């Protein structure tokens, strides 16, 4: 089976996406162009990409990673922590069901954003955060257990989501921003650290062809990855970063 991904278009309303970084106006035209480059990078790496249409009623809908978690043959539709994002789940669930996944869900009071879930081989790390509560973590851990994964609940750290500060480099290595994320739970794995001051570089995306997509603008971290033996490709995502989003947030992958 060829690697696949699901992405979602950028609505005009993306200018109203949730942001913690203050008044940095989003250029939607540039965001769409950056999104197109991102999709091209995926398809160029042999990924079969499905795009769900944008929905003007849900400004954050391009951040599709938060609304579902793929665990083998199952797709768990989340209950996002931000109320304004709950309407994003329906069309993504329809697309995942169409792709053949066994659909699972979680119910109130559970909340969970997929950005808080890091899968490394058969381990699923679930970060407790302002978006993911204990009930959400429990609900996902239960399903993960049924699917043969070991679930490990951790603290998401100082950024929005667990994966703001740590991401997979293949199945057994991670890139971690020590300023944002406690490396303790990941001891025993190969760890590359982001360069000082470049913590936002931690949201990298490992592709099936072995390359690692890195956000543009973090040359010292990119050099660290290259020195550690990874082939990297930089992608500009400035407009998504203004809304606290990164590379992994923009797709669901399987
Ligand atoms: C939010 O605050 O929910 C969006 N503006 C950003 C979501 C980023 N998603 C992610 O890190 N997985």
Peptide bond into 109 cis (omega under 30): yes
Residue 232 scores a pLDDT above 90: yes
Instruction: Please state, rounded to an integer, the average pLDDT across all residues of the chain.
Output: 96
Q: Which residues line ligand 1 (CB under 6 A)?
A: 17-18, 60, 63, 65-66, 82, 85, 115, 160-161, 164, 243-246, 249
| Test site for ligand 1: of 16, 22, 249, most ligand atoms within 8 A of the Cβ | 249
pLDDT digits (tens, 9 = 90+) for 172-202: 899 999 999 999 999 889 999 999 999 999 9
Quick one: pLDDT band at residue 13, thresholds 50, 70, 90? very high
Cα–Cα nearest to 6, from 83, 87, 70, 58: 70
Give the angle 170-251-215 at the CA atoms, nearest 5°. 65
pLDDT digits (tens, 9 = 90+) for 120-162: 999 999 999 999 999 999 999 999 999 999 999 999 998 999 9
Answer whether 127's CB lies under 8 Å from 113's CB: no
pTM of the model: 0.97
Residue 21 scores a pLDDT above 90: no
What distance in angstroms lies between residue 224's CA and the mean position of ligand 1's atoms? 26
What distance in angstroms lies between residue 10's CA and the mean position of ligand 1's atoms? 14
What distance in angstroms lies between residue 192's CA and the mean position of ligand 1's atoms? 24
Residue 224 scores a pLDDT above 80: yes
For the question of residue 161 being annotated catalytic, the response is yes
pLDDT digits (tens, 9 = 90+) for 94-113: 999 999 999 999 999 999 99
| Test site for ligand 1: of 66, 130, 203, most ligand atoms within 8 A of the Cβ | 66
Per-residue confidence (pLDDT) for residue 223, from 0 to 100:
98
Q: What are 42's two structure tokens?
A: 């995926």
Per-residue confidence (pLDDT) for residue 22, from 0 to 100:
73
Quick one: pLDDT band at residue 77, thresholds 50, 70, 90? very high
Report the alpha-carbon distance of residue 154 to residue 132 in Å, rounded.
11
Cα–Cα nearest to 111, from 92, 93, 134: 134
Quick one: pLDDT band at residue 208, thresholds 50, 70, 90? confident
Per-residue confidence (pLDDT) for residue 1, from 0 to 100:
75
Q: What are 78's two structure tokens?
A: 């989340």
Strands 166-168 and 173-176: antiparallel
Among the listed residues 35, 61, 161, 181, the single catalytic one is 161
Per-residue confidence (pLDDT) for residue 59, from 0 to 100:
98
| Test site for ligand 1: of 35, 88, 160, most ligand atoms within 8 A of the Cβ | 160
Residue 254 scores a pLDDT above 90: yes
What distance in angstroms lies between residue 244's CA and the mean position of ligand 1's atoms? 6
Classify the phi-psi angles of 170: left when phi > 0, otherwise alpha if psi is within -120 to 50, otherwise beta: left
For the question of residue 16 being annotated catalytic, the response is no
What distance in angstroms lies between residue 226's CA and the mean position of ligand 1's atoms? 27
pLDDT digits (tens, 9 = 90+) for 24-56: 799 999 999 999 999 999 999 999 999 999 999
């Amino acid at each position: 089976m060829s690697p696949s991904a699901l992405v979602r278009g950028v609505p005009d309303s993306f200018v109203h996406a949730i942001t913690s970084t203050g008044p940095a106006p989003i250029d939607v035209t540039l965001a769409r162009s950056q999104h197109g480059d991102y999709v091209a990078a995926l398809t160029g790496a042999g990924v079969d990409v499905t795009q769900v249409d944008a929905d003007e009623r849900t400004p954050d809908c391009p951040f599709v990673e938060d609304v579902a978690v793929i665990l083998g043959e199952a797709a768990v539709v989340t209950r996002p922590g931000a109320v304004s994002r709950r309407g994003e789940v329906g069309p993504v669930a329809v697309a995942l069901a169409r792709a053949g996944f066994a659909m699972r869900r979680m119910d109130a009071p559970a909340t969970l954003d997929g950005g808080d879930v890091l899968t490394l081989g058969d381990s699923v790390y679930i970060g407790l955060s302002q978006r993911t509560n204990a009930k959400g973590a429990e609900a996902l851990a239960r399903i993960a257990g049924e699917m043969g994964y070991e679930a490990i609940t951790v603290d998401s750290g100082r950024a929005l989501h667990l994966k703001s500060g740590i991401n997979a480099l293949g199945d057994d290595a991670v890139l971690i921003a020590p300023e944002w994320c406690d490396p303790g739970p990941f001891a025993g794995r190969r760890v590359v650290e982001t360069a000082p001051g470049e913590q936002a570089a931690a949201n990298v995306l490992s592709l099936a062809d072995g390359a690692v997509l890195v956000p543009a603008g973090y040359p010292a971290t990119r050099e660290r990855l290259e020195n550690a033996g990874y082939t990297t490709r930089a992608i500009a995502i400035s407009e998504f970063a203004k809304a606290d989003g990164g590379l992994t947030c923009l797709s669901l992958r399987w």
